[in-house]
Amino acid sequence: MFRNISVIGLGKLGYPMAQFLSSSGAKINCFDIDKKLVDELKENHGVYLHETGLNNLLNNNNDLIFHENISDCIINSEIIYITVPTPSKMDGSFSNDIIYKILDEIADVIKKTKKSYIININSTLQPGSIDNDLIPYLETRGLVNNKDFYILYNPYFVALGSVVRNLQEPDYILIGSSSIYAAKKISKFYNTLYKNPQIRLLKFKEAELTKLLVNTYLTTKISYSNFVKEICKDFDDVSDLRVLESVGLDNRIGTNFMLPGGPYSGPCLPRDNLSLKKFCLDYNIQSSFPDEVQRINNAALENLYKVISNLKNKHKISSFGFLGLGYKSNTQCFEESYSIKMMHFLESLNIKVYYYDPYLKEKFTAQKVETFEELSLKSDIIFLSYIDQQFNPIIQIEQNKKIWDLWYHFSNTKYNQVFHKLSDFSKFENNNSEKNQKIIQFNKKLA
């Protein structure tokens, strides 16, 4: 078992991972270039991440050790976890620039100590990066692969908001390696950390592709669900919810991600789909598959814009409220949030936008409100961006509001009208006189 571990990068994955690894009993050394972030972590232990279960890892009598430079962080370690951003470049591929800087620091320590290290990369990489770029980069520093350094590719499959649970209960552990020694070392470590872990050992490019293809399969399922919504949208006697639920009951397909909702978004799925397209282009592989998935996702967003335009032009709405403005609950992340794209579109139509989101601290052009009552009072229609149990009380506010719910989470009440599928808006009653408004009966009529 490793007695001394380093974690480089303390972001949304790195910090929970460091805390999780501390449960092994190993000494966990940490570094992040963002000094302000480190100070916040020392003070509030990542409370702003809203990660369920993170607090339970803080009290295991094995506190993290923070260092001011990479050299001090890694010098006594046996394995170095690298969990830093690999931003998308203009062509859709991932940039390794931050990783190169860390490898420079590691190379200096190797030369100084004459000691070998296992370098475990958790960041998502463009397929081919380790063999074609990272190993040759270290070799240009005069180091010998699988002698002076051992690289592993060990990405975790996690979702923001449930990172701790995903780390503690992975479906399987993916490891790319060219060294039997390093693969055995980390496999032995994980066998002490998990009970009967399913470890998948692959070559580097196989593992890099697997990580990318898992996420792009999820984009495929979401785009498929949006395609089914498009098929069902004009039929009053067809429920897209019931159709998708029934399709997902086939064990070959599965129910996960087979439900109505919005376009895929967030920090991973959109860029991973673009990365897959770039990989296909680089190797002269037909790229129509990721293109079509992206086209359907774009069309799903365009359909939301069409409904907004209809609400503006036909039903004369002048204000719009979002329940949640990020892309999901339990995270401050709002990358590629379709709600924020909708916000910008609404503002281009001179519609006043309000939002209630208990997680986001960022400032937006829309006006943030602090209560459901204020959101309901100021908004002609309220949009449910994602499912969160904290949002449930809004359905009982006596404002006779119209709630746009893509997820089929809410049902009609005597106080409010709820719209699910796009065809429901054809029944929108634009009558400003409250006594003449109808409570709309829409497509979700389950026996």
pLDDT for position 192: 94
Give the integer Cα–Cα distance in Å for 244 and 257.
9
Give the integer Cα–Cα distance in Å for 288 and 32.
39
Integer CA distances (angstroms), 409 to 175, 186, 442, in order: 38, 42, 14
Write down all domains in the chain, each with its CATH number in brackets: 4-201 (3.40.50.720), 203-447 (3.40.50.720)
pLDDT for position 416: 83
pLDDT for position 445: 40
Cβ pair 124, 155 in contact under 8 A:
yes
Tokens for 243, please give them.
């159709």
pLDDT for position 422: 66
Cβ pair 83, 17 in contact under 8 A:
yes
Read off the amino acid at residue 194.
Y
pLDDT for position 436: 35
Closest CA to 149 of 164, 160, 139, 159: 139
Cβ pair 328, 358 in contact under 8 A:
no
pLDDT for position 426: 67
Supply the DSSP string of 124-141, one letter for each residue: ---TTHIIIIIHHHHHTT
Distant-in-sequence, close-in-space partners of 187: CB < 8 Å, separation ≥ 6: 175, 199, 201
pLDDT tens for the chain, 447 residues long, are: 799 999 999 999 999 999 999 999 999 999 999 999 999 999 999 999 999 999 999 988 899 999 999 999 999 999 999 999 999 999 999 999 999 999 999 999 999 999 999 999 999 999 999 999 999 999 999 999 999 999 999 999 999 999 999 999 999 999 999 999 999 999 999 999 999 999 999 999 999 999 999 999 999 999 999 999 999 988 888 999 999 999 999 999 999 999 999 999 999 999 999 999 999 999 999 989 999 999 999 999 999 999 999 999 988 999 999 999 999 999 999 999 999 999 999 999 999 999 999 999 999 999 999 999 999 999 999 999 999 999 999 988 887 889 999 999 998 888 888 998 766 776 655 443 333 333 333 333 433
